[in-house]
Amino acid sequence: MAKTHVSTTINGEPVEFLCEPQQTLLDVLRDELNLTGSKEGCSSGDCGACTVIVDGSIVCSCLMLGAEAEGHKITTVEGIAEGEKLHPVQQKFLEHAALQCGFCTPGFIVAAKALLDENLNPTEEETRYWLAGNLCRCTGYDKIIRAVLDAAAVMRGENPPSPAA
């Protein structure tokens, strides 16, 4: 079985890999490239734990073949922070304790970052609909939504009080 050679860009860096035809992008990220931040939850596109950004759109990396990555620009959760500096969404997830087991968190962070790239002033309803493809079985979602709305405020230059204060 012939492997496919793929040249792509991941988190701003050119990356080349070989993959089997049936390997998903998620398989490639985790098993070939050691980018294990993207999680495998359902493998059927329902849970969003494997969410990555491809050319500006969020997709489930379990529903894309590795071979399809050729020529595209991919951002994973590992590419959200700038070096040691957390993205506002990540910072607000910490401040709000918007996670418990943490398994769904990478997918939420990536999806929320993509929302705020597109819309710095989403309503709560827009935020809840946008994140409807990310399932969390621990938190009840409320802290996640608060964290994203607060991150949006920070990115708009406002200074929302920390929830712990």
Partner 1 sequence: MPSLSFAAPTSVDEAVKILAGASGMAKVLAGGTDLLVQLRSGRLKPELIVDTKRIPGMLGIREEANQFVIGAATPGTMIYESEALTRAWPGIVEGMDLIGSEQIQGRASLAGNLCNASPAADSVPALIAARATAVIAGPNGKREAPVEAIVTGPGQTSLQKGEFIVEFHVPKPKPHQSDAYLRFIPRTEMDIAVVGCGVNVTLDGAGTCTDARVVLGAVAPTQVVANEAGAALIGHKLDDDTLAKLDAAAGRACKPINDKRGTIEYRVKVAGVLARRAAAIAFDRAAKR
Task: Provide the binding-site residues for partner 1, judged by CB under 8 A.
Answer: 1-2, 4, 20-22, 24, 43-45, 48, 51, 54, 57-60, 62-65, 67-68, 70, 111, 129-130, 132-134
Q: How far is the CB of 159 from partner 1 (least distance, A)?
A: 29
Identify whether the C-beta of residue 142 lies closer than 8 Å to the C-beta of residue 96.
Answer: no
CA distance 35 to 165: 35
Q: How far is the CB of 124 from partner 1 (least distance, A)?
A: 14
Report the first-to-last Cα separation within the chain, whole angstroms: 59
Q: How far is the CB of 109 from partner 1 (least distance, A)?
A: 14
Identify whether the C-beta of residue 37 lies closer than 8 Å to the C-beta of residue 22.
Answer: no
What token pair was written down for 67? 């071979």
| Nearer CB in complex with partner 1: 45/163 | 45
| Nearer CB in complex with partner 1: 29/95 | 29
| Nearer CB in complex with partner 1: 31/68 | 68
| Nearer CB in complex with partner 1: 64/89 | 64
CA distance 5 to 55: 20
Cα distances (angstroms) measured from residue 87 to each of 4, 44, 75, 91:
34, 28, 13, 6
Q: How far is the CB of 58 from partner 1 (least distance, A)?
A: 5
Identify whether the C-beta of residue 48 lies closer than 8 Å to the C-beta of residue 104.
Answer: yes
| Nearer CB in complex with partner 1: 9/43 | 43
Q: How far is the CB of 131 from partner 1 (least distance, A)?
A: 8
